[in-house]
Structure 1
């Protein structure tokens, strides 16, 4: 169940970063509230995951999945570039997170 919590925590990170971008574009209290809610959600589920997963592993996977997800959100929703070099290094982040899971 801890790994499920960690994935849910990563979604909080991804949506939190997305809300930062939306807040920067629209400067409304709604997006500020949504950003705070998203990050709070992520931190709560990260704390649940860290009851059973080592701190270093949980944090590395949380940030790795969050970073990878943020890149994908940027490409899909904010028209950021999706060049092959970007995809290569994105796959390195994902491979590193998967490697930590295997070594857990």
Structure 2
């Protein structure tokens, strides 16, 4: 169950990064709403991370959480924000994914 919560926490990390991206291109009330969504996603993500680190090793949990956030944010940037998807960028994202999966397998 903790691994599922950790994945959800990572997805909320992607969501708060996406909110920052949307807020950057907005103004007025729309920007305020994106910043409010950012804070909500941040609180949920951090709360779940705190919860899972009571059972999972902090180093592993934090690495997986940041890895999910990094991979998810890059993929979101490519798919939603039209960022470049060059070979080396995708190659290194793939190695990050393999590292996250590897950490899961070597953790108790």
TM-score (norm 2): 0.93
Gaps of 5+ in 2: none
What's 2:19 paired with?
19
1:7 correspondence with 2:13: no
Query: In structure 2, what is the equivalent of residue 41 of structure 1?
Result: 44
Equivalent pair of 1:2/1:51 in contact (CA under 8 Å): no
SS in structure 2 of the partner of residue 82 of structure 1: coil
How many Å apart are 1:45 and its aligned residue?
1.0
CA RMSD of aligned residues (A): 0.8
**SS in structure 2 opposite 1:26?**
coil
Q: Distance in 2 between matches of 1:56 and 1:74?
A: 27
Spell out structure 1 runs of 4+ moving beyond 6 A: none
Distance apart, 1:83 and its partner CA: 1.2
* 1:44 shift after superposition: 1.1
User: Deviation of residue 51 (structure 1)?
Assistant: 1.6
Question: Unmatched 5+ residue regions in structure 1?
Answer: none
Q: Distance in 2 between matches of 1:62 and 1:82?
A: 23
Provide the TM-score with structure 1 as the length reference. Answer: 0.96
Distance 1:25 1:37 in 2: 19
Work out the CA distance in 2 between the residues paired with 1:46 and 1:95: 21
